[in-house]
Amino acid sequence: MTGLLPWHGSQWALLKSRLERQRMPHALLLHGPTGVGKRRFAEVLSQSLLCPDRNEHGACGACPACLQFQAGSHPDCLVVAPLQADPPPEFGQFPSLPSQQGRKAPKTPVVAIDQVRDLSGLMLRTSHQGGWRICVLPVAEALNPAAANGLLKLLEEPPEKLVFILVADEPGKLLPTIRSRCQMLHFGIPDPDQTTEWLDSLAGTDIAPADLRVALAMTRGAPLRAMVLAQAGCAGQLDELIETLGQLRGGQLAPLAVAAAWERAGAGSVLDYWRFWVAELIRCHLGVAALLETEARYRATIENQANGRGRAWLLGLLERLNRDRNLLNGSINTRLLLDDLAIRWAGSGS
């Protein structure tokens, strides 16, 4: 079993106390920034609830119930996972509903009403092993309106010893009536020293220090997101984007050729790095310390590119990048979107 993360101590202590007194809330909403381990905590909690031999640290990891959970075959734990083409890296290894198999995955994560209806069997039957029954929604904000209303009806009359565990990066997207029926449990960004110590302790990792520093800046200290970016070599990818933007602005590269290269590299990733960089330029205009302030090699470039663009222009560009990033989940023509952005950056702007 994957253990608790070091910064989850207070959340675990709260629920452990409730569990020991058999006073678990019927619904939990784990919320906070992406990449702080909410779904990992949901996995730890789910296995601990199902383990008859749990201890103060959680599940034993060796009993039949734990082995079933780890194999994804525990009959008392169901997961309503969103249908999507590319699941988020911080997701956890949960057993999932049989009816989710074979469904076409849309670009945008969606939990549909028929997935919520699948829970009726779990609601009506008793526990196979005489303990808790668990329903996990690892991306709760992906509920479409019909599914959200269906879940609300289930939350209004929960049976005994059934726990709903909802996880959301953006709880404001959930119906207020769903939030009101859940005990909210917040997961914040851990202390920087704690994050660094945890990342340094990981065995078998071969990550360049520059990648780790850039990743922590880009994620504002979210450890699990930072780990994914660092493993992908984010410092080199950011450097390549910055160089390309400079050459675009200087007329050394053709906008349409750059847009074609961006499309091949992955539009979503390019826009994520670009949004971060434009935000750094805006911070320079505002006199606010850059998130990359500790990286001396970026300072001159930040000042040069910021001085070449007006604050209002950069704010408008950031708004456009944010909007276009969301549009990538739909049926937008990605190449035309990137063409327009490249041409806009290459042109005059102040």
Q: What is the pLDDT of residue 110?
A: 85
Q: Which amino acid is at 174?
A: L
Please tell me the predicted confidence (pLDDT) of residue 93.
Answer: 45
Q: How far apart are CA 78 and CA 123, in angstroms?
A: 11
Spatial CA neighbour of 350 closest among 320, 301, 319, 306: 306
pLDDT higher than 80, residue 172:
yes
* 27-60 confidence digits (pLDDT tens): 999 999 999 999 999 999 999 999 988 888 889 9
> Which parts of the chain are beta strand (E)?
27-31, 77-79, 133-137, 162-168, 183-186
CA separation (Å) from 135 to 16, 122, 242? 18, 8, 45
pLDDT digits (tens, 9 = 90+) for 80-115: 888 764 444 443 444 444 445 455 555 677 888 888
User: Which of 4-8, 71-75, 235-239, 269-273 is predicted least confidently?
Assistant: 71-75
* 285 closest CA partner among 316, 311, 309, 308: 311
Give the integer Cα–Cα distance in Å for 166 and 30. 6
Report which of residues 350 and 60 the model is more confident about.
60
Q: Of all residues in the chain, what percent are helix, strand and coil, respectively (each to 5)? A: 55, 10, 35
Looking at mean pLDDT, say which of 96-105, 153-162, 257-266, 301-310 comes out highest: 257-266
- What amino acid is encoded at 42 in this protein? A
Residue range 173-197, pLDDT digits in tens: 999 999 999 999 999 999 988 888 8
Domains detected in the chain: 6-186 (3.40.50.300), 233-346 (1.20.272)
Looking up tokens 């969301």 gives 326
CA 67 to chain centre: 27
For the chain, the straight-line distance linking the first and the last C-alpha, in angstroms and rounded, comes to: 54
Q: Chain-wide mean pLDDT for the chain?
A: 86
Residue 230 has pLDDT above 70, yes or no: yes
How would residue 289 be classed by pLDDT, with cut points 50, 70 and 90? confident
What would the two tokens of residue 227 be? 């780990």
SS3 31: strand
SS3 readout for 127-179: CCCCCCEEEEECCHHHECHHHHHHHHHHHHCCCCCEEEEEEECCHHHCCHHHH
Q: What's the average model confidence in pLDDT over 134-141?
A: 92
pLDDT at 90: 40
More confident call, 10 vs 197: 10
Classify burial at 254, counting beta carbons within 10 Å of its beta carbon; exposed 0-12, middle 13-18, buried 19 or more.
Answer: middle
